[in-house]
Each structure stands twice: as structure tokens, then as C-alpha cells.
């Protein structure tokens, strides 16, 4: 039996939605009177896990091993496994790692304080229920905030891409109510947020009574003090005319779109159950660029989906050339238990996947560098988010989500005007111009 914890540490893996959930769990534990501590000192460690690829899922077990070795095992903390691995593996986790005290799924973490009490009584605590929406209503109001905040507006997925675990770990697609989102956005702005990124597995599927994400974005645009709005991740099928128009009309909506295509081959897209093809994806990009010519386009790619031939992969390289991405994420296909693709024939050998990923990443890297280099000489605003490594240095983001390093005495959280001076593949250097009134 472990004593009731008075300190905690939340470690989040994976996507931005997990980062948001991690913040909310921390707020919840603070509301219970616990204080944050480093992972190597905390009485309770919450591992907020990701199940999207095998490597991500396995990380949790190596972390548990590391925690148990803490100070020779004498000071092992109470361990909670949260997130999508908890949902997918449930009771299997304590069977494989008996040191785990709590297992809590992504739709049940509002029950974390009760589960901690249960574990402190020496009982094994497990909750992987998926009640629709009750989590949000049971969480305390937002308090902890930096200049840039996440806000989950949509959860789950009904699209069932054949490679993906999300519909199983996060459940059915649901939209949070408009009024609750606006209330949370106001609380975030009151706590100091100047930028809000609306989150969802398919964020542009958000809807309430025939009104889509563009309606929500326009309502948030009216909040005094909120200067920047972003949203991620979008699905091509839910890219409505209204949302595209919002990119032309709403000044606070940042010129950045993350729109995963996954593959450039129609044959592979069909086998993935993506419900768009290469041509329809390119048409959307064209419409978005017509509405907002300076928009930065980003995407996700999977190489080595079962049955992917050299020709299919060449089609992926072609769509990358056609779009010319500002930034992108690319992954080797990882077979996930229980998904249809895991049972498909023609799994692609690892060395072939490695070679394809290298070629794709080299091309995407060249595009990203060229995009950054083309920004040199421009004047733009940046939102200062954190200190840099060197004394006096700070790091901020441009509207197009590029990181800029610069020396300035302006405070974190300020929006300032800069001139971009030089560019690398992942960031730019800038010089501050006149300070804008916040
Ligand atoms: N809903 C978004 C969409 O439809 O594009 C993506 C959400 S998913 C959490 C993030 C990315 O992980 C996907 O876009 C895909 O590229 C990647 N991914 C998902 N399942 C994968 C798998 N089994 N193997 C490799 N990458 C995967
Ligand atoms: Fe996964 Fe596809 Fe749903 Fe995206 S749309 S979360 S890739 S199933």
C-alpha cells in the first residue's frame, strides 16, 4: 500500500490532445490540494500515453521500469497509466507491469482523484469507461496558462481509417457544446492566453445544430484579448466552404492549415479508407490558397502501408511536389492490434519502409527549408512563448507557425513585430522592430 500522494507529475506523450488532457489532469490534481513536482521526486506519476504507433505505446513500459528504479526502488511513486494505451490495454497493463496502481482512459480522467484514493487504500484502480462528454463538465475551470493555449472542442473519430487506433481508443466523434467552449476560451484569455488552438482528432468535424467550426471561430474572434486562433487536426472531407472562407475573412485566424493526406496513391488511399483521393485533396489546397494565398500548408504521411508499391510511393512524392509543404509529419506504417490493416497481406518489409521514409523526409525537409528561406526579409508579428537557451534570447511563433529566435527585452506573452533575418530548416532568427501594444 502507498501513502496518499501530496505531490504529482504528469508526463504526456504523443499528440496535442494529450498535452491538453495532461494540463487538465494537473489542474484537477492541484484542485485536490496536490502540488506539482519533478518526475524523480513526485509521490504520484501520471504517464499520459499514446497508442498511435507501436514505438509510442512501448515507451510507457520503459518509463515504468525507470520509475521503479528511482532511488533503488525505495521511493517508488504511485503510478497511473492514462491516455490511449490505458484505453487500449486496460487490465492487461497491471498484468504486464504489476507496479502500476491506476489505469485511467482518456474519457475517464475526471475520476482520477477518486482512483488515487482507491489506490492509496491498496485497491487496484481501473476506469476505462467512455461516457459521452461528462468528463468536461466534471473538470475544474481553467487556471494554468501560458500565452498559447490548447482547447479541445471535438473528440473521437467515426472515420475508421484502416490503420488507425483512434476510433477505438478515443471513441465516437463528439462535439463539445458551443457555450462550454466559449466559456473555456474566456477563462483561458483571462488567465493570459493570447492564442488558442482548437483541438480535435478531426477538429473541422465540429458541429452544433448545422453550424460548423467556422461559426465557432467567428464567435471566438469576438473575444477581447484573443489575438490568434488556430485549429488542428483537420480531415480533408470536413474542409467546408465556410471554413475556407473564414481563412479569407477572419483576421485572427492564423494562415496555417494542417491537412493530412497520408498518401498520394488513390489505390492506397482507398485501402486506407480515407474517402478522399489525391485530386480532391489538391482541389481543397487550391481553394484554401485562393482564399488565403500566404497560408502555410502542413500534412501527415504514412509510408509502407500494406501493399504500397514503388509506384504508389512515387505518387506520394508527386503529391508532395504538387502541394509544396511548409512543414509535415511523416511516419512509417505501424501495424496496430485490432485494426483492419494489421491483418492485410503484403506488409511492407522494414528496410523498404526505411528507404521510403528517408526519401520522403529529404524532400519535405528541402521544402520546409525553402519555405523558411522565402520568409527572410519579411516583417511579421510573433507571439513570444518562452525563453531561449542564450541569455536575453526568446522564442516566438509567426502567424505561419515558424519558430523565431531573437534577442529582446519584451516579455513572454507579448506580440511584437520582427524582421526575419536568416532561416534554417526548423527555425528562423529575427530582430525586434517597434513593440505593438498588447
Ligand atoms: N485525424 C487526423 C487525420 O485524419 O489525418 C490524424 C490524427 S492521427 C492521431 C495523427 C497521424 O498519425 C495520422 O495523420 C497518421 O499520419 C499517423 N498514424 C495514425 N495511425 C498510424 C499507424 N498505424 N502507423 C503510422 N502512422 C499512423
Ligand atoms: Fe485516425 Fe483516420 Fe480518424 Fe484521423 S480520420 S483519427 S487517421 S481514423
Between CA 80 and CA 117 the distance in angstroms is 12
Sheet holding 44-49, edge to edge: 35-36, 7-12, 44-49, 78-82, 102-104, 125-127
Listing DSSP states for 137-167 in one string gives HHSPPP----SEEEEE-EE--S---TT--HH
Ligand 1 centroid to 248 CA: how many Å?
Answer: 28
Between CA 339 and CA 261 the distance in angstroms is 19
- Angle between helix axes 178-190 and 213-221 (nearest 10 degrees) is 30
pLDDT of the residue at 57: 83
Which residues form ligand 1's pocket by a CB distance below 6 Å?
A: 15, 52-53, 163-164, 166, 201-202, 233, 235, 260, 262, 300, 302, 331, 333-334, 336
pLDDT of the residue at 10: 97
In degrees and rounded to multiples of 5, residue 383 shows phi and psi of -100, 120
235 lines ligand 2 (CB under 6 A): yes
pLDDT of the residue at 339: 96
pLDDT of the residue at 27: 93
Strands 35-36 and 7-12: parallel
The model's pLDDT over 124-181, given as tens digits with 9 standing for 90+, comes to 899 998 876 678 888 888 876 789 999 999 999 999 999 999 999 999 999 999 999 9
DSSP classification of residue 370: H
Residues of the chain under the 70 pLDDT cut: 1, 71-74, 132-133, 144, 434-438
Q: Enter the pTM of the model.
A: 0.94
Half-sphere exposure of 85 (CA within 13 A, CB side): 28
Q: Which of the ligands is closest to the CA of residue 357? A: 1
Best of 19, 57, 164, 301 to mutate for ligand 1, by most ligand atoms within 8 A of CB?
Answer: 164
How many helices (H) and strands (E) are present in the chain, helices listed first? Answer: 14, 21
Between CA 45 and CA 407 the distance in angstroms is 36
From 23, 77, 88, 96, select the one nearest 49 (Cα to Cα).
88
- CA distances to 27, 46, 81, 87, 108 from 128, rounded to whole Å, are 20, 15, 11, 6, 6
From 428, 438, 437, 424, select the one nearest 379 (Cα to Cα).
428
pLDDT of the residue at 74: 60
DSSP classification of residue 303: E
157 lines ligand 2 (CB under 6 A): yes
pLDDT of the residue at 285: 98
Amino acid at each position: 500500500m502507498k501513502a496518499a500522494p501530496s505531490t504529482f507529475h504528469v508526463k504526456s506523450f504523443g499528440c496535442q490532445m494529450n498535452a491538453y488532457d495532461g494540463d487538465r489532469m494537473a489542474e484537477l490534481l492541484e484542485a485536490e490540494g496536490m502540488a506539482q513536482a519533478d518526475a524523480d521526486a513526485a509521490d504520484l506519476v501520471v504517464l499520459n500515453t499514446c497508442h498511435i504507433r507501436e514505438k509510442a505505446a512501448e515507451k510507457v513500459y520503459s518509463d515504468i521500469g525507470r520509475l521503479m528504479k528511482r532511488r533503488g526502488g525505495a521511493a517508488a511513486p504511485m503510478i497511473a497509466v492514462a491516455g490511449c494505451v490505458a484505453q487500449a490495454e486496460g487490465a492487461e497493463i497491471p498484468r504486464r507491469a504489476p507496479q502500476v496502481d491506476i489505469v485511467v482512459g482518456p474519457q475517464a480522467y475526471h475520476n482520477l482523484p477518486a482512483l488515487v484514493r482507491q489506490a492509496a487504500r491498496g485497491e487496484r484502480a481501473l476506469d476505462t469507461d467512455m461516457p459521452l462528454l461528462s468528463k468536461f463538465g466534471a473538470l475544474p475551470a481553467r487556471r494554468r496558462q501560458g500565452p498559447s493555449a490548447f482547447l479541445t472542442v471535438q473528440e473521437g473519430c467515426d472515420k475508421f481509417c484502416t490503420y488507425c487506433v483512434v476510433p477505438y481508443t478515443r471513441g465516437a466523434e463528439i462535439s463539445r457544446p458551443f457555450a462550454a467552449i466559449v466559456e473555456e476560451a474566456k477563462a483561458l484569455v483571462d488567465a493570459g492566453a493570447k492564442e488558442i488552438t482548437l483541438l480535435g482528432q478531426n477538429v473541422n468535424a465540429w458541429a452544433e445544430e448545422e453550424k460548423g467550426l467556422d461559426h465557432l471561430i467567428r464567435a471566438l474572434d469576438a473575444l477581447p484579448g484573443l489575438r490568434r486562433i488556430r485549429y488542428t487536426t483537420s480531415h480533408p472531407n470536413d474542409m467546408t466552404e465556410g471554413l475556407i472562407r473564414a481563412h479569407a475573412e477572419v483576421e485572427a485566424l492564423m494562415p496555417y492549415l494542417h491537412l493530412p493526406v497520408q498518401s498520394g496513391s488513390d489505390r492506397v488511399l482507398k485501402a486506407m479508407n480515407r474517402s478522399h483521393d489525391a485530386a480532391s485533396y489538391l482541389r481543397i489546397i487550391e481553394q484554401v490558397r485562393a482564399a488565403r494565398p500566404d497560408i502555410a500548408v502542413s500534412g501527415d504521411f504514412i509510408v509502407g502501408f500494406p501493399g504500397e508499391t514503388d509506384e504508389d510511393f512515387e505518387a506520394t512524392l508527386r503529391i508532395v511536389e504538387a502541394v509544396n509543404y511548409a512543414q509535415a509529419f511523416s511516419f512509417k506504417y505501424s501495424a496496430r492490434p485490432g485494426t483492419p490493416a494489421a491483418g492485410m497481406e503484403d506488409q511492407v518489409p522494414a528496410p523498404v519502409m526505411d528507404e521510403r521514409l528517408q526519401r520522403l523526409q529529404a524532400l519535405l525537409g528541402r521544402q520546409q527549408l525553402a519555405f523558411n528561406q522565402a520568409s527572410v526579409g519579411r516583417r511579421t508579428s510573433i507571439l513570444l512563448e518562452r525563453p531561449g537557451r542564450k541569455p536575453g534570447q526568446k522564442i516566438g511563433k509567426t502567424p505561419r507557425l515558424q519558430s523565431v529566435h531573437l534577442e529582446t527585452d519584451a516579455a513572454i506573452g507579448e506580440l511584437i513585430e520582427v524582421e526575419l533575418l536568416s532561416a534554417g530548416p526548423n527555425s528562423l532568427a529575427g530582430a525586434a522592430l517597434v513593440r505593438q501594444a498588447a
